[in-house]
Amino acid sequence: PTAEGWTADLAGRHVVVSAGGTREPLDPVRFLGNRSSGRQGYALARTAAARGARVTLLSANAELPDPAGVDVVRVESAAELHRAARAAAEDAHAVVMAAAVADFRPATYASGKIKKVAGQEPAPIALVRNPDILADLAAHRARADQVVVGFAAETDDVLANGRAKLASKGCDLLVVNEVGNGKAFGTGENEAVVLGADGSETPVPFGPKEALADIVWDLVRARLR
């Protein structure tokens, strides 16, 4: 057991975790972004390192200190995260996509700052879809035994939506949070259910993001060869 009381059950493993939220540039000074704090991804990186893993943390705009003993790669946009994730996944035993990836980006990037024009309303901003990084990683695994994990925030029929999303992404595990009612965003605590492609369902009681992270690594560990 380590000082934290955990055995180093991820020793010799390389895990990749994405965290934060992507920013999609519009011009040199503006972007479309989201409110993801990065805390869940950082908790995953810290707990994996504490359990002996080599950890690559792909950090999308999180304003959090680098966790000790973790390789931090800073990215901005979904396109940058996609490239970094593909490269880091090359020799990874597990990839966990905890980042909030923008579904859309501005169709064009203005290389000069967009200016107001006197007496004119602004032009609408056209958007195009970003690639689905999680689905791409799951479909093109660098190793046959790689474990791929996604996160989803859902409302309404949370479990049915989660099952459908797990299947469409092709990942092994999907951590599903219920949002609304003051849950999940920007807090230190989380409540979730982890769905497995094998049909398993692991409820995670409301508690610190570290506790959810440790359950995710338990489930990943059980799927590693």
Q: Which residues bind ligand CTP (CB under 6 A)?
A: 78, 97, 99, 101, 103, 130, 132-134, 150-152
Minimum CB separation of residue 91 from ligand CTP in Å reads: 20
CA dihedral 86, 57, 76, 22 (to 10 degrees): 90
Query: Within 13 Å, how many C-alpha atoms sit on residue 80's CB side?
Result: 15
Q: Which SS3 state, helix, strand or coil, does residue 33 take?
A: coil
Of 162, 175, 130, 153, the residue nearest 33 (C-alpha):
130
7 contacts 87 by C-beta, under 8 angstroms = no
**103 in contact with Ca ion (CB under 5 A):** yes
What whole-number distance in Å separates Cα of residue 66 and Cα of residue 72? Answer: 7
Beta strands in 61-162 (DSSP E): 71-75, 94-97, 104-106, 127-129, 147-154
Nearest distance from residue 87's CB to ligand CTP, in Å? 15
**Closer residue to ligand CTP in complex, CB, 45/152:** 152
Annotated binding residues: 103, 113, 131-134, 151, 165, 169
Nearer to ligand CTP, 66 or 136 (CB): 136
Asked if 34 is an active-site residue, the reply is: yes
Distance between CA atoms of residues 35 and 112, nearest Å? 26
221 vs 225: CA distance, rounded Å = 8
Residue 201 in the binding site for Ca ion (CB under 5 A): no
Considering only the stretches 33-41, 44-52, 96-104, 155-163, report the one whose residues sit in contact with Ca ion under the rule CB under 5 A. 96-104
Measured from the CB atom, the residue of 34 and 202 that comes closer to Ca ion is: 34
50 or 98: whose CB is closer to ligand CTP?
98
Minimal distance, residue 130 CB to ligand CTP, in Å = 5
Partner from Ca ion, ligand CTP, none contacting 50, C-beta within 5 to 8 A by type: none
Residues touching Ca ion: how many (CB under 5 A)? Answer: 1
Which residues in this chain contact Ca ion in the complex, by CB under 5 A? 103
Residues labelled as active-site residues: 34
